[in-house]
Structure 1
Amino acid sequence: MDPEKGSTEERPHKAELQDSGLEPGDKWIHGLQLVNIMAALTLVCFLVLLDASIIVTALPRITNDFHSLADIGWYGAAYQLSSACFQPITGKIYALSTPKWVFLTFFTIFEIGSLVCALATSSNMLIGGRVVAGVGMAGLLNGILVIIAECAPLQKRPIEKSLLQFGHTLTTCLFGQLGLVGGPLIGGLFTQFVTWRWCFYINLPIGGLVAAMLVFVPVPQQHSRPSARSIFHGFLSHFDLLGFTIVAGASTMLLLALQLGGSTFSWESSQIIGLFCGAGVAIIVFALWIVRKGDAAIFPFSMVRKTVVWISCVVYGLFAGHLYTESYWVPVYFQGVRGASPALSGVYILPMIVAHILCALSSGPLLKRVGYWIPISLFGAVMIAVGSGLVSTFSPTTSTGKWIGYQIILGVGRGIGLQMPLIAVQHSVAPAQIPVAMAFVMFGQSFGAAVCLGLAETIYSNSFRTLIPKYSPGVDVQSVVEAGATGFRAIVPQTSLAGVLDADSKSIDRFFYLVAGLGVGIFAFSWGLGWKNLKKK
């Protein structure tokens, strides 16, 4: 490389570092600047994950307002699907551009999507807002991990400082997860005492605070990025837009098939068969494409072929599928089957929330003591499978002790194991590949959540329509479905209500068989996360 050219490209960044008081060769930051950046990233992580779950206790009220019970799965799946589609390209963007400004751009998109949701006047408008917010989320989750890695790189530090960087990652993710696990409670309070629209308005003032915290603070870069001119001239080759189009198309077709099958169209219809075939062909074409493109592909072949990387993507996707599915549907059980208010349904899932937080906080010290992430992930998988199997026995008369105990088991499983795939990837790739590797793993998270939410909605809808005539003959099925997740209580005669509640409960139980299967999948794949001893680093 031409020395003068290289120095010219890096000069703005060096000047930024000098202005911030960093010494040459000391590219990671510390002190108040580090605290400021980590606090801002933690707030963003909190908001993004809050946005993913705050809506769950508001869903019954939303379906009542818009008469859209059939869309209940789309409110979560649209958010995850758009994130999954754009997740692959975000890694390339971060690897080639200045992380801070890319991060703030995605954050602006996320805020716009939140505003659209808050102002929604129809179910379709709400779904559209969720799609926009999901695009923003695609860049934010990956950006959080990239910026942490840029501020305190693992590969340049001995074990003590490596664990310190791990602590930054874990702390940000753990406090961010307070949004994910506490979202249902916050959403329930907003829905009952203000309006469900505040589930989205809340993102706006906090977003302004985050922007103020980051705009004027320099974020170091551990490797040089190409100039804007070279990116512009090689735009197509840099970003692999064809690969992005293929993976986005495959993801969309697969989710549409799962979401529409058995409800809008029969499983044997040409539309559903065509979507499944199209998704299958697109996946095959994408696999051949990344092999042909090699490291120029949207997911570099040399990285994807690493066992730890692709298995981490699968494991994280299974964890996310479990997390989002039970977070969405346990509150629906309490409101629809048990008749709880939105706020009270948030209170009823506190056992799962508290267990999740406590185990997530203990996962860092536990990993430091054990030295390996595989045993922790395996334990989490077992707890998820057992807990989900127990939750699948929920009925209208399940005792308080049982639904509290079963939720604690679920919370322990997801809290203790959720971060292990991320830690495995960060210790397995070169610094320059971290943005793309994180994008790949985050793609697994969003895609897994979208697919599982779509499957859960399909299982629930088909089962509910089938079981209502069995348990409450004479009740108009279509009227019950259109009334909403809790609105049917107002239109079903008291003499038939018990049967409808049984049908509702058993329909929810059925997709928890799927969630139990996710735990089994996590257990099977976790063995491939790599036996790397952190104590010997």
Structure 2
Amino acid sequence: MPNTKDSTQDDPTIIVSDPTSASTPKAIDNITTSTSTMSPPENPQQAENLDDSSQVYMTGITLRLLILSVTLAVFLLLLDMSIIVTAIPQITTDFHSLVDIGWYGSAYNFSSAAFIPLAGRVYTSFKAKPTFICFLAVFALGSMICGLANSSNMLIAGRSLAGVGTSGLQNGAITMVSYAVPLQKRPLIIGVIMGIGQLGILLGPLLGGAITQYSTWRWCFYINLPALGVCVALLSFIRVPEKGRGRSTSGTRAESVIKMVLTQLDIPGFLMFAPAAIMFLLGLAFGGHEHPWNSATVIGLLIGGPALFIVFLIWERCQGDERAMFPLDMIAIREVWTSMLAGMFVIGAIVIIFAFYLPIYFQAVKGVSPFMSGLYVLPNIISSVICAMVSGVLASKLGYYVPWVVGSGALCAVAAGLVSTFGPDTPVAKWVGYQILLGARGAAFQMPMIAIQCVLPQDKLPVANALLIFAQTFGGAVFLTAAQVVFSSSLTTQLQDTGFSPARVQQIILAGANGIRQVATTERDLGLVVQAYSDSIDKVFYVGLAVSIGLFLSGWGMGWHDLRPKKSEGVLPESSSSGDEKTSSGRQEQAGGQV
């Protein structure tokens, strides 16, 4: 058994489990490693993750600092996606750039989506904490450029750079947590990160509106700088255990780093993947807005993107799983591809669709202000956060994650069906109660990440996390576009069926959800417009119902793996540990040295 005395004496908050020890602290606040000898897992791929007898983990104050830092980073990531929404009108006025309105959000999303797989390769090749800090620095630089922008083009460039920075934040957060705590404890920790992080989506428009009204829109971006500084400061006080194949860049010569970048990061694959992803996302963004869906521009983008993606997949097959950004053999594992589907449905579809269209319902149909619409969706957000935390605790205690995914899908399907009955006269009790039920989606937030960690070795997790995060991002773009098509076509049809002229219909649509009461001047017209909005939004919620069913079905394929340590019937003799040491070679590294 490896000698741990010297490797831990300088940092009492990083501990190494002893397979022969008698007891283990139970409290969540004092997360430690399993003290029991693990029985061999049935699936060979699980061996590296489930045999924790030689792992180095964090506990105490340093673990809390890590959780606080990565939670704040994920919160800022999601906040930055939505805070600009209410600032865009003032930005377009200052820069006289109404034609660029779509690029302020798209530039951020496109660059983030394009760099997510590359970020997975970066975390595989370099140590997690310094890599995470580098992504934070890029995010901060992009935010600073946005705040200092003196032209629309400069703002778009800053948003693109910020998107590159955020492409590695969620992956880095999950990767460091997987290094810092044992598998059994991860559902709770990741649930806290994802649950609290999603508050950024809700608070973004509220903060953006308040900042723009009482100060300047530039603080929508400057606000990231001190917060990101706090993240870096917190991380500077802790050492994160490093496992797997991560390599440190500290002390290496520049030419060695360059060689590693060229040989490990699949740069040719990235140069094919990035334009393929951007072309397809541009086609979705342009369709029905800048260009008709049947225009040559949109059709060319929607065909060219997938065609180039096929070429990219052929290249990835030739690369092999060790160097590929999209390892096809990894994706073929049932738990991996079903987890990608589940993540796409719950984060990329259910969260995004209802986060966008519930406020529209309250503004257009109920006639409340944007600020009040944000308050009205609080039951949904609070319920989701609570469900994420509760499911994390119970998954850690009971050992299984599939029931929470399946149950979340079933409850979300019921809730989406109930929410689709919303109308102009829906009472408070119903729209509050139905939103609370819809918050059951939170129970599934972290489970796809946990499922992947059950079947893959530690050195594969950064790439697997990147696949999952890309599925969420890509799914969000696709399903949000689908929802927008359903909403726009339904609203146009219903307004035309009420007898409004084409010019009048266009005027009502351009007024937006918060402006229909200014263009619909008579009580009759307002009633017709409100009803058309209500019916169209209800049809969007049918899309939410469909993806909830998809979440329910995909959850069954994520594997019934027990997260709890498996105790052997007796204590293994000391000589038996040699095999475990051999199996765990390369995984006993902690920050600062070898165990």
Give the TM-score, by structure 1 length.
Answer: 0.84
Cα 1:260–1:147 shift into 2, 3 Å:
same
Cα 1:515–1:247 shift into 2, 3 Å:
farther
Are 2:239 and 1:212 equivalent residues in the alignment? no
Distance in 2 separating the partners of 1:97 and 1:368: 30
2:500 equivalent in structure 1:
473
**1:357-376 alpha-carbon deviations (Å, 9 max, x no partner):** 22112102332454322221
**1:442-480 alpha-carbon deviations (Å, 9 max, x no partner):** 111111112222333333334444443333614534444
1:343 corresponds, among 371, 392, 396, to: 371
Cα 1:81–1:506 shift into 2, 3 Å:
farther
Equivalent pair of 2:75/2:196 in contact (CA under 8 Å): yes
Unmatched 5+ stretches in structure 1: 1-14, 155-161
1:316 corresponds, among 325, 334, 343, to: 343
Q: Counterparts in 2 of 1:518-537, with a 5 A limit?
A: 518-535=547-564, 537=566
Equivalent pair of 2:187/2:447 in contact (CA under 8 Å): no
Unmatched 5+ stretches in structure 2: 1-5, 17-53, 567-595
Are 2:412 and 1:384 equivalent residues in the alignment? yes
Cα 1:112–1:485 shift into 2, 3 Å:
farther
**1:310-367 alpha-carbon deviations (Å, 9 max, x no partner):** 2211210111122012112211221233221122111111211221122112102332
Distance in 2 separating the partners of 1:257 and 1:380: 32
Per-residue deviation at 1:278? 1.4
Number of paired residues?
Answer: 514
Cα 1:117–1:290 shift into 2, 3 Å:
same
2:459 equivalent in structure 1:
432
1:393 equivalent in structure 2:
421
2:474 equivalent in structure 1:
447
Distance in 1 separating the partners of 2:472 and 2:112: 9
Distance in 1 separating the partners of 2:384 and 2:160: 28
Distance in 2 separating the partners of 1:518 and 1:169: 23
Per-residue deviation at 1:63? 8.9
**1:485-531 alpha-carbon deviations (Å, 9 max, x no partner):** 42343344335333333333333333222222111211222221111
Are 2:324 and 1:303 equivalent residues in the alignment? no
Are 2:302 and 1:276 equivalent residues in the alignment? yes
Q: Counterparts in 2 of 1:114-133, with a 5 A limit?
A: 114-115=143-144, 129-133=158-162
In structure 1, give the amino acid aligned to 2:539. Answer: R
Task: Using CA pairs under 8 Å that are at least 6 residues apart, name the structure with larger relative contact order, 1 or 2.
Answer: 1
Distance in 2 separating the partners of 1:29 and 1:489: 56
Identity %: 41
Cα 1:235–1:212 shift into 2, 3 Å:
closer
Q: Counterparts in 2 of 1:229-268, with a 5 A limit?
A: 229-268=255-294
Equivalent pair of 2:188/2:396 in contact (CA under 8 Å): no
2:110 equivalent in structure 1:
81
2:242 equivalent in structure 1:
221
Deviates more, 1:21-30 or 1:519-528: 21-30
Are 2:155 and 1:134 equivalent residues in the alignment? no
Distance in 2 separating the partners of 1:350 and 1:199: 22
Equivalent pair of 2:185/2:396 in contact (CA under 8 Å): no
1:409 equivalent in structure 2:
437
Cα 1:66–1:482 shift into 2, 3 Å:
farther
Equivalent pair of 2:112/2:167 in contact (CA under 8 Å): yes
In structure 1, give the amino acid aligned to 2:194. Answer: C
In structure 2, give the amino acid aligned to 1:233. Answer: K
Cα 1:281–1:41 shift into 2, 3 Å:
same
Cα 1:484–1:70 shift into 2, 3 Å:
farther
Distance in 2 separating the partners of 1:122 and 1:382: 48
Distance in 1 separating the partners of 2:489 and 2:95: 20
Equivalent pair of 2:141/2:162 in contact (CA under 8 Å): yes
Per-residue deviation at 1:275? 1.9
In structure 1, give the amino acid aligned to 2:408. Answer: G
**1:141-191 alpha-carbon deviations (Å, 9 max, x no partner):** 000011112223x3xxxxxxx423444333333333343455566556656
Equivalent pair of 1:363/1:416 in contact (CA under 8 Å): yes
Cα 1:513–1:116 shift into 2, 3 Å:
farther
Distance in 1 separating the partners of 2:156 and 2:198: 23
The structure with the greater share of residues assigned to helix is: 1
SS at match of 1:427: helix
SS at match of 1:28: strand
Cα 1:513–1:165 shift into 2, 3 Å:
closer
2:58 equivalent in structure 1:
29
Deviates more, 1:253-262 or 1:219-228: 219-228
2:34 equivalent in structure 1:
none
Superposition RMSD in Å: 3.4
1:289 equivalent in structure 2:
315
In structure 2, give the amino acid aligned to 1:500. Answer: V
Give the TM-score, by structure 2 length.
Answer: 0.77
SS at match of 2:557: coil
1:50 equivalent in structure 2:
79
SS at match of 1:284: helix
Distance in 1 separating the partners of 2:531 and 2:190: 44
